[in-house]
Each structure stands twice: as structure tokens, then as C-alpha cells.
């Protein structure tokens, strides 16, 4: 999952949004199966940011909400704030 996140970040910077979406979705699923809230939060933030960049902010909202819930599980105030600001 970490490698998927890293690749997704690179694809985002390259503007390869289709690849980026698939990689963030894969990371979100894997981190969810592992019950790793930090990974779930970070992957959902990336997924949401990608959707916003694609002009799909409505589709990004559930991703940001999922990130917020994941960070709340960690009591990660700054992470939750990042998700709400997006």
C-alpha cells in the first residue's frame, strides 16, 4: 500500500490522473483491510485531491469525509483539519 501511495503521488505530479486514481483507490482498499487508519486517511486525502484536480469536487467529498473519520480514530487533529480544509 505504501508503494501504491508513493506511485500515486508521482503520477499526480506528472498529471497522470487516471493512474493516480487507481493507485490511491488500491491503497485505500489495502489500508482498510489492514485496519490502518493513518494509511486510510492519507490515501483518501490523495484520492480526494485528485478528484478535485479533475474538476470533480462533489466526488471528492466522500473521500475527505473518510479521511476525517480515519484521522479522528487516531485523534490526529492536524490531519482531520487538513481533510476539512480541502
Task: Give average pLDDT by consecutive 10-residue segment, the chain, 86 residues.
Answer: 90 92 95 95 95 96 95 72 60
The predicted model scores a pTM of 0.82
Q: Output the pLDDT for position 75.
A: 76
Q: What is the pLDDT of residues 50-72, one digit of tens each?
A: 999 999 999 999 999 999 999 98
Q: Output the pLDDT for position 2.
A: 85
- Count of CB atoms within 10 A of residue 36's CB? 16
Average pLDDT, the chain: 89
Question: By three-state DSSP, how is residue 66 classified?
Answer: helix
Amino acid at each position: 500500500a505504501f508503494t501504491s501511495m508513493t506511485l500515486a503521488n508521482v503520477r499526480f505530479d506528472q498529471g497522470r490522473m487516471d493512474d493516480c486514481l487507481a493507485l490511491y483507490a488500491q491503497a485505500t482498499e489495502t489500508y482498510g483491510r489492514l485496519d490502518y487508519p493513518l494509511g486510510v486517511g492519507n490515501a483518501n486525502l490523495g484520492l480526494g485531491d485528485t478528484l478535485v484536480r479533475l474538476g470533480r469536487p462533489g466526488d471528492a467529498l466522500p473521500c475527505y469525509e473518510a479521511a476525517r473519520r480515519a484521522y479522528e480514530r487516531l485523534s490526529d487533529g492536524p490531519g482531520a483539519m487538513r481533510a476539512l480544509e480541502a
